[in-house]
């Protein structure tokens, strides 16, 4: 059996930055889930890498999905990021000949999809202060042969963060969305997003007209109206910051446009930030710098005066046709990370 690196959290980079609000309204520490996409390894091998770091027991459901249960952090899921590759969960006693044929077809679809689509490790939510516990996973996967976005020109693999919201009210959701729209151009420039991911549909920018509506200092709708505007101006999950899971949880009636029945929409009280590249195949790569950039969003979101000032300035730049200078202007407002 192959030997996998046995790293410990102490070998990770120094701890992550923490946002201004680290607990939910009920006082419980906030958590964050992480999803890591890559190629070059198959689920059983990936699961064994996870097990070598965090313990637990490996369960291989089929050739394109495995789980590592009861690790010291919780349960990990490993699968091909392609819904059509996964058989429906049916008991053996009801599996007909057609069911078995469907499962074989799905496995074949998965074999083809694995050439261009990523395998994904969905990590269990961990406390914000403990995100460095997940950094050894990137190193171990790289040493085991995983390949990230920069390994092939057509790879467009992502690192997704799912931080739990600090509050569920409309003002808080809006403040973070405003902050994100104002910082998005700076984030893209700062992170040097891979060309394949920039042209792929997964992390599209928000429409400029929608950004102009939201960042305006006078825009202060209730949660239901915020959701209606989101659906009207941004009817897609393929955004760099995907609000469908969060808004579907909070105001499901406003999100019932067909997307709510999409099996990929899992209502949950988290942001779904999918912009960062997965560069898991690069020696020394860490998930923490991108997390620390997200913290800048949450820091700005707590400063209503700055949100209004930057929002008015963004609108002035748009009217003057100089939004290409926006990342440079924003950089002057932000401390280094």
Predicted pLDDT at 85: 35
Predicted pLDDT at 150: 84
pLDDT < 50 regions, the chain: 1-13, 83-95, 98-115, 260
Query: Which one, of 214, 181, 217, lies nearest residue 304 by Cα?
Result: 217
Q: What is the pLDDT of residues 166-180, one digit of tens each?
A: 999 999 999 999 999
Token pair for residue 323? 């939004």
Cβ contact 175:220 at 8 Å = no
Distance separating alpha carbons of residues 307 and 319, to the nearest angstrom: 18
Distance separating alpha carbons of residues 335 and 179, to the nearest angstrom: 15
Distance separating alpha carbons of residues 105 and 78, to the nearest angstrom: 20
φ and ψ at residue 9, rounded to 5 degrees: -55, -25
Q: What is the pLDDT of residues 300-330, one digit of tens each?
A: 999 999 999 999 999 999 999 999 999 999 9
Predicted pLDDT at 138: 96
Cβ contact 131:289 at 8 Å = no
Distance separating alpha carbons of residues 207 and 317, to the nearest angstrom: 16
Token pair for residue 225? 């109206």
Q: How many CB atoms lie within 10 A of CB 88?
A: 9
Predicted pLDDT at 334: 83
Distance separating alpha carbons of residues 311 and 305, to the nearest angstrom: 10
Query: Which one, of 149, 152, 159, lies nearest residue 121 by Cα?
Result: 159
* Burial label, 332 (beta-carbon count in 10 A; 0-12, 13-18, 19+): exposed
Distance separating alpha carbons of residues 79 and 234, to the nearest angstrom: 28
Beta strands 76-80 and 65-69, pairing class: antiparallel
The alpha-helical segments, DSSP class H, found in the chain are 43-54, 97-113, 135-144, 170-191, 195-199, 208-215, 223-233, 244-250, 288-301, 304-320, 326-331
- Chain centroid to CA 311: 25
Distance separating alpha carbons of residues 168 and 246, to the nearest angstrom: 9
Predicted pLDDT at 333: 82
Distance separating alpha carbons of residues 283 and 291, to the nearest angstrom: 18
């Amino acid at each position: 059996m192959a030997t996998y690196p046995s790293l410990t959290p102490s070998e990770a980079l120094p701890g992550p930055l923490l946002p201004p609000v680290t607990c939910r309204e009920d006082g419980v520490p906030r958590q964050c889930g992480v999803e890591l996409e890559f190629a070059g390894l198959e689920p059983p091998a990936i699961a064994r890498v996870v097990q070598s770091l965090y313990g637990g027991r490996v369960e291989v459901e089929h050739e394109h999905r495995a789980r590592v249960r009861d690790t010291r952090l919780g349960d990990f899921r490993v699968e091909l990021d392609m819904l059509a590759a996964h058989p429906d969960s049916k008991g053996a006693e009801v599996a007909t000949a057609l069911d078995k044929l469907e499962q074989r077809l799905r496995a074949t679809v998965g074999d083809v999809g694995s050439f261009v689509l990523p395998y994904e490790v969905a990590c269990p939510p961990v406390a914000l202060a403990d995100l460095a516990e997940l950094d050894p996973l990137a190193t171990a996967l790289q040493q085991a042969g995983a390949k990230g976005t920069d390994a092939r020109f057509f790879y467009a693999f992502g690192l997704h963060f799912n931080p739990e919201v600090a509050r569920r009210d409309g003002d808080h959701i809006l403040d973070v969305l405003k902050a994100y729209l104002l910082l998005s151009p700076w984030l893209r420039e700062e992170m040097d997003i891979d060309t394949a991911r920039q042209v792929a549909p997964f992390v599209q920018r928000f429409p400029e007209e929608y950004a102009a509506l939201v960042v305006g200092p006078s825009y202060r709708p209730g949660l239901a109206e915020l959701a209606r505007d989101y659906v009207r101006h941004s009817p897609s999950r393929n955004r760099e910051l995907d609000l469908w899971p969060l808004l579907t949880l909070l105001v499901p009636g406003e999100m019932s446009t067909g997307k709510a029945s999409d099996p990929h929409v899992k209502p949950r009280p988290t942001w779904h930030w999918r912009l960062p590249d997965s560069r898991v195949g690069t020696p020394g790569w860490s998930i923490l710098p991108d997390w620390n950039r997200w913290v800048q969003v949450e820091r700005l979101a707590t400063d209503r005066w700055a949100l209004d000032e930057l929002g008015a300035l963004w609108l002035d730049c748009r009217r003057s046709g100089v939004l290409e200078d926006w990342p440079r202007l924003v950089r002057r407002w932000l401390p280094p990370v």
